Amino acid sequence: MATTLGPLATQASLPTLAVFLHVDVRLRYFQGLLRDVMPDVDVTAYGRFGDAIQAIEGGAHALLALRSVIEYQGLKVALSARAAGRTTEPYVLVANGREVSPKSVRRVGTLDLLGRRGTQEWVHRLLNASPDVNRVTKVEDLLPMLQLEMVDAVFIPEALAAPLREKSRLPLKATALGVEVGLPALAVLKPGGERVGPALSRVGGNLKQIMRIDGWE
């Protein structure tokens, strides 16, 4: 069943923005915040890679997603988010009770960024290792994989490691990897999509915290 939150376009006069980002809040709440701050853009948030791709193929004017998603689709970045002066963020391995190395991890959990094959290849390339990759579509599903010992570690943005520890009684430990992944970025898919960029400049406060960004460039 598709995980979408409403029709892609409700008013033909508005540019349509497909959003595919994994955030640590309910997707409907996140979508509502975006719609409130960008009333001149028809925003639909998607929780699954396949649904986001269908939105792209279905005529969305623009896509807001991690740079890895945009590049995987062969699209051009029109606008990049930044945090702490960078357009990338560090990723870590989080495991129960110990630090781990990529080579020691047989099963790794991660957010489903690029579908089954794409996410597996992405993880293998960044870790320079070949563990079995277990994917989830929600940030809240990462912790159960560790609690139920479905994986040896999860591969996530460093910014999500502390919230993960706060939600668990497990002695979770993060291993720094020196791996950087691009922050959210905007791709214009067809004429009209260029109107989304100025609207994104109004994103601030709580939304910036949710998206783990400081601004755009």
| Chain segment 96-155, per-residue pLDDT in tens | 999 999 999 999 999 999 999 999 999 999 999 999 999 999 999 999 999 999 999 999
Query: 16-84+183-216 belongs to which CATH class?
Result: alpha beta
CA angle at residue 122 from 121 to 124, to 5 degrees? 65
pLDDT digits (tens, 9 = 90+) for 13-59: 899 999 999 999 999 999 999 999 999 999 999 999 999 999 999 99
Q: How far apart are CA 193 and CA 211, in angstroms?
A: 21
Q: How far apart are CA 134 and CA 146, in angstroms?
A: 11
Domains of the chain: which residue ranges? 16-84+183-216, 88-181
Determine which helix (DSSP H) or strand (DSSP E) holds 144, and give its type and residue range.
helix 142-147
The encoded tokens of residue 9 equal 């376009």
Domain 88-181, CATH homologous superfamily name and number? Periplasmic binding protein-like II (3.40.190.10)
Q: How far apart are CA 72 and CA 66, in angstroms?
A: 10
Q: Do domains 16-84+183-216 and 88-181 have the same CATH topology?
A: yes
- Judged against a pLDDT cut of 80, whether residue 10 lies above it is answered with no
pTM of the model: 0.91
